[in-house]
Amino acid sequence: MSPGGAIDDQARTGLALEGLVHDLNNVLETIAEAADLLSGDERWESVAAAIHRSVDRGQRILGGFVETTLGSAELDAVVRAATGFTTDFLAAVRSPAITFETDLEAGLRLKGASLAWERVLANLLINAAQAMKNGGTCRVSGRKDGDFVEIVVCDEGPGIPQSILPDIFKAHFSTKSTRRRFSGLGLHIVESVVRENGGSVAAANREDAPGARFTIRAPGA
């Protein structure tokens, strides 16, 4: 392929991505307008607010696809955003309420875009919540370790069977009986985003109590 052809392909790809973002933003705006209608009824005010927060997050995710620069992410803000989204998600699917506890060193920052790290934490928190069928507590801790930041997410679920530990970060791997096309991607997204930002993630079972433990080591900013 000639250099001119490669440039044309890149331009077409860029336009296709921008077009996709544009069209999906239109979908999200339609959902937001429907939420506006619901907000006029006090019975649905909390639902409308949750929809608006999810629409806002969806628009930020779409915006992240066309970002060309990487900044740094404040871990405390990332965790607050992820726990807020997870709370809305659990309420929408009528799952048992989960208590979130955080223990973060002050001033921790991660290399990479805030939204990318929010996706990582949100997927881990949703995964933890779904493991705790009767509710429980999910704990997120963060510590500086040299040039890295160590983030640990623990739940109070049944833990991870040893037989599947080597596979849980693989795309479309799931223990749920579902035929959803995009199932089994949450932990794969976690591993992919962490790796893209120069870090690593490991899964294990807790030693101090029943439950799973996910440990992320990522470059600090």
Give the start-to-end residue ranges of the domains of the chain.
Answer: 1-68, 71-221
CATH topology classification for 71-221? Heat Shock Protein 90 (3.30.565)
Residue 157 has what pLDDT?
93
Percent of the chain at pLDDT > 70 equals 82
Which residue from 16, 83, 88, 77 is spatially nearest to 55, judged by alpha carbons? 88
Angstrom distance (rounded) from CA 35 to CA 55? 10
Average pLDDT over residues 103-111: 95
Angstrom distance (rounded) from CA 72 to CA 218? 12
pLDDT tens-digit map of 197-218? 999 999 999 998 899 999 999 9
Report field, pTM of the whole predicted structure over 0.85:
no
